[in-house]
Structure formats: C-alpha cells, structure tokens
Amino acid sequence: MDENIWERIREERLSLARMLAPLTAEQWATPSLCAEWTVRDVVAHLAMTPAGEPRPWPMAVALVRARGHLWCAGRDVARDYARRPTAELVASLERSADSRRKPLFVNDANILLDLVVHGQDVAVPLGVDRPVPAAAAAFTLERIWSMGWPFHARRRLAGVRFRAAPETPAGWAAGEGPEVRGTPAALALLMTGRTAAALPMLHGPGVARLADRLDVRREPRAG
C-alpha cells in the first residue's frame, strides 16, 4: 500500500481511540453490529492487528476448536484478547497507530477497510456519529466493491447504482440501475452485510428494490 493509505490507517486508529476513551462499562458491553460481538470484542479485534495477533499457533488451535470455521475461530481469539482492561485496549490503538505489523494471514489492503467498517459497527449501536474521511471512504468503498469473499458485494447487490455523498473525491459510484444514495459509512455497512442498520440511512429509488430483495433479518458476521 502507498504512504497515503498508511496515514489514513493511522488517523482511523487515533480517532477510534478518542471515541472509545470516555465510554462507560455498560457501553463497552453493548452488542455491536457484528453478530455475537460486543463493542469490546470488536475493539479487541482491531487492537490485535497492529500487535501481530493472533499468532499462527493460537489461531490454529482456535480453528481446531471451531472445527475449521474461520469466523468462529476469529470471534474466539478476539474474545480472549478482549479480557484486557478497556484502558489497555484504547492505549494499544494509540501506541500502535503508526504500526505496520500484522498477523501473517492479514491482507494489507484490508486493514483500512477493517478499521472503517468496524468503527461503524461500534459507533452506530452507541448512537455516535462517526463520519468516514474522504480519502479513507474512497479506498474502502472501492476495495469492498472489488472483493469477492467474504462480501461479494458486486454480485449480491447487482441491479442498482450506488452513489456516495460528496465526502469521497469526485463522488464514488458503482453499479447499474435505480440509484441508491448514502454516506460512505452507510454504503460500507450495506456492502459488508449490515443490511438492517444500513437501509434506513439510504435514499433513492433503488432502496425499495434492495429492501425487497435482501433479508434484513440476517445479522452480519465480523469480517
């Protein structure tokens, strides 16, 4: 990745730490937009990456215990890491803001995506407005749209035209069909499967088509 993306990663880690610092114990225990993950679990997941966690052996053990189910293994290692004090998790994000360290199986291109989407997973249930900075928004939306597994956004959301609010350089857009407009945060949530949370934030003639087609009862899994 280029230096600009690493700078966006740094900014997201620092701004997330600022948002988290004043939270109460009750807020840390709030269910996030990721099924079976609390705010604490999500933050632990984000703090693990620049710490180079999980290491291969603990992850292998978790995979065996989860019978090869990658999502369940990831949930379990995040919950284990989340046993740390809240102040330590926040301080870890601050200390590691410039870190380029990561587990062996993490793709560099997904680090910023992870921070942006999981930042919304935490902020939305807490009722906190967390706008996505323009450069981070453009990179994140394009990355999600171009990916296959685990989101398959281009295939799953075919038939509408997405257009981001003017936070993104030149206004990010993708797809063909009736228009669906929204902030980069709302579009990122929709494209990564946070359907029930995202739909009320979207506008345009394509929203009704999406609502009819997508199963809003399905809760997303952390990715």
- pLDDT tens for 148-162 read 888 999 999 999 999
What is the pLDDT confidence band of residue 165, given thresholds at 50, 70 and 90? confident
Q: Work out the mean pLDDT of the chain and round it to a whole number.
A: 89
pLDDT at residue 195 is higher than 50? yes
CA gap 133, 14 in Å, rounded: 13
pLDDT of residue 146: 95
30-65 residue pLDDT tens: 999 998 899 999 999 999 999 888 666 566 665 667
Residue (of 131, 148, 144) closest to 201 by Cα position: 131
pLDDT of residue 219: 47
* Pick from 13, 18, 5: nearest CA to 45: 13
C-alpha angle 49-142-37 in degrees, rounded to nearest 5: 40
* pLDDT tens-digit map of 69-118: 666 776 787 889 999 999 999 999 999 999 999 887 788 889 999 999 99
Contact 180, 161 (CB under 8 A): yes
Percent of the chain predicted with pLDDT > 90: 69
Peptide bond into 178 cis (omega under 30): no
For residue 116, what pLDDT is reported? 97
For residues 155-176, give the mean pLDDT: 87
What is the predicted pLDDT for the residue at 223? 53
**Higher per-residue pLDDT: 73 or 211:** 211
Q: What is the largest CA-CA distance in the chain?
A: 49
**Who wins on pLDDT, 208 or 221?**
208
% of the chain residues with pLDDT over 70 = 85
